Amino acid sequence: MRRLWLIVTIPLTVALAVFAVANRAPVPISLWPLDLTLDLPLFLLALGTFAVGLLLGAFLIWLPLLRWRHRARAEERQVRRLEAELAAARALPPERPQPAPSPPAIAAR
């Protein structure tokens, strides 16, 4: 798995570095309702947009998983409680079976 991570990460890092070096020219960015203009390098704009999208996507995936994590923690607590009960039950001496009461004798006629 580590090799696969390296096989993907190293070329991606090199490609991003080449992209950043090739696109250093400043680009004016106008934020319309604020009447604000920024001059940012193109690579910063592109990589920043990519990073924001990546974080937003990760957050949207993480939200539904909260329910499953909560459920897993609750079930883990229940397993611990049941294991403690089982250990306590095993620590008790075994109960002797009580003899069954004998049926009442029927008088002969």
Start-to-end Cα distance in the chain: 89
What band does 32 get if pLDDT is binned at 50, 70 and 90?
Answer: confident
Say if pTM beats, i.e. exceeds, 0.75: no
Q: How many percent of the chain have pLDDT more than 70?
A: 96
Q: For the chain, what are the domain ranges?
A: 2-89
What band does 108 get if pLDDT is binned at 50, 70 and 90?
Answer: low
> How distant, in Å, are the alpha carbons of 51, 52, 92, 95, 103 from that of 99?
76, 75, 21, 12, 12
* CA dist., res. 37 & res. 67, Å (int): 42
